[in-house]
Amino acid sequence: MTLVWCNRLWALAFALALVSSGMARAEEKIYVVTTLPDLADITARIGGELVTVESLAKGIEDPHGVPIKPSFLPKLNRAQVVVVMGLEYEHSWIPALLSEARNSKIMKGNIGYIDASLKVTPKEVPMDLSRAKGELHPAGNPHFNLDPEGGRLIAQTIAEGLTLNFPQHRATFEANLKAFLAQLDAKIREWKIMAKPLQGVRFVSYHQDFTYFADRFGMEYVGTIELKPGIEPTAAHLVELVQSMKTEGVKVVIREPHFSEKVPSQIAAQVGGQVVKLPIMVGGAPEVKTYFDLIEYNIRELLKAAQAAGVAGKV
C-alpha cells in the first residue's frame, strides 16, 4: 500500500517537474497581455521574436463589456507587461481584473502598465462628467484605433513602453517600430487615395466609434442609433434620427458586429440606404487578421456601401 502511494507521488512530482520546466521555457520570451486584439497585433510587430502576445478580448466582442472571466487572471498574473487602449475604453472590466491579478508590476501607474492612448489627443471629451451623457466614453472617444494615424501613435507608445521595461532590447524595438511605421506610411498614402470617394459621405453608426476614422477620411457623422454611448435607443430617438437622416440625405448605416442587425436594417430601409457591418477591432470579421486588414477592410466595405447607396463621390 505505502509502496504504491510512494510510486504515485513520484509520478506526480515527475509530471509537475515536466510541466513547470515547460512553462519556464515558454517564459523565456517576454509575455505580454493586451486587452484588445489590435494592441496584440501591433505589439507582436514591435516586439517581434522577443515577445509572446495574447489578447484577452476577441475581435467580435463588445470591447466595452468584455465578460470578466476568471481564466484571465492566471494570464495577467504571469504577464510581464499589460497593454490597454486607455481613455477608459476597458473601464468596466480591466480594473477589477488587475486588482485581483496579484501582479503589482502591471498595476496602473507602474511601468508594466502601458496605456496606448498616451499620445492621442482625445476627441469628444465631455465638458462635464455627468452620466446623463452616457456611460462609456467619460474620457473622450476611445476608438482612435480605427484611424491609421491612431495606429501610428499606438505603435510608438508600445515601443516606448517596451523599451522602458526591457531597455536591453531597445535597438530591436526601435528597428521594428521603424519598419512598422514605414509600412504604415505607405499604406496610409494608398488608403487616402482609395478613400477619396468617401469624402463628404454622411453616415450614422450604432455606437459612436467611427469619429476618428470619419475625420481622417473626410466623412460626416450625422448621429448614432444608441441614445448615448452605452445607452440603448428610445423610440423617440429613432424617429428623430431617421428624420435627420432624411433631411441630410444619409444613406449609409454602420453596424458593429456586436450589435444586432434588426434596428440598423430597419433604419436603412426607412431612408432607402445601406447597412454595412464593420469590425471595430482586429478579428471582428473573418478576413481581418491584422491591423492593416482592419483599416483596409473598413474603407473597402464603406466604399461598396456608399456606391450601392449612390452617395459615393466622384474622383
Tell me which residues touch another protein (CB under 8 A). 23, 58-62, 67-71, 73-74, 77-78, 91-92, 95-97, 99-102, 104, 107, 119, 121, 131, 135, 149, 189, 193, 230-232, 257-261, 284, 314-315
Residue-wise DSSP of 12-25:
HHHHHHHHHHHHHH
Q: Which is nearer to another protein, 56 or 172 (CB)?
A: 56
Cα–Cα–Cα angle for 283, 286, 290, rounded to 5 degrees: 45
Q: Which is nearer to another protein, 45 or 91 (CB)?
A: 91
Q: Which is nearer to Zn ion, 136 or 271 (CB)?
A: 136
Question: Whole-angstrom distance between the N-terminal and C-terminal Cα of the chain?
Answer: 85
> What minimum distance in Å lies between the beta carbon of 222 and another protein?
23
What is d(CA 55, CA 247) in angstroms, rounded to the nearest whole number? 42
Q: Which three cell numbers stand for residue 10?
A: 513520484
What does 139 interact with, of another protein, Zn ion, none (CB < 5 to 8 A by kind)? none
What is d(CA 303, CA 309) in angstroms, rounded to the nearest whole number? 10
Q: Which is nearer to Zn ion, 112 or 151 (CB)?
A: 151
> What minimum distance in Å lies between the beta carbon of 166 and Zn ion?
32
What is d(CA 168, CA 246) in angstroms, rounded to the nearest whole number? 59
Q: Which three cell numbers stand for residue 228?
A: 448615448
> What minimum distance in Å lies between the beta carbon of 91 and another protein?
7
Q: Which three cell numbers stand for residue 301?
A: 466595405
What does 97 interact with, of Zn ion, another protein, none (CB < 5 to 8 A by kind)? another protein
Number of residues that bind Zn ion (CB under 5 A): 1
Residue 308 DSSP SS3: helix
> What minimum distance in Å lies between the beta carbon of 113 and another protein?
14
What does 107 interact with, of Zn ion, another protein, none (CB < 5 to 8 A by kind)? another protein
- In order of 120, 255, 278, 281, 295, the CA distances from 287 in angstroms are 28, 17, 12, 12, 12
Q: Which three cell numbers stand for residue 276?
A: 454595412
Q: Which is nearer to another protein, 22 or 310 (CB)?
A: 22
A 10 A CB-CB count for 112 gives: 20
What does 25 interact with, of another protein, Zn ion, none (CB < 5 to 8 A by kind)? none
Q: Which is nearer to Zn ion, 136 or 177 (CB)?
A: 136
> What minimum distance in Å lies between the beta carbon of 96 and another protein?
5
Q: Do 76 and 97 form a contact (C-beta atoms < 8 A)?
A: yes
Please name the helix (run of DSSP H) or strand (run of DSSP E) that holds residue 33, with its range, or none.
strand 30-34
Q: Which is nearer to another protein, 172 or 205 (CB)?
A: 205
> What minimum distance in Å lies between the beta carbon of 211 and Zn ion?
10
Per CB under 5 A, which of residues 126..145 are in contact with Zn ion?
136
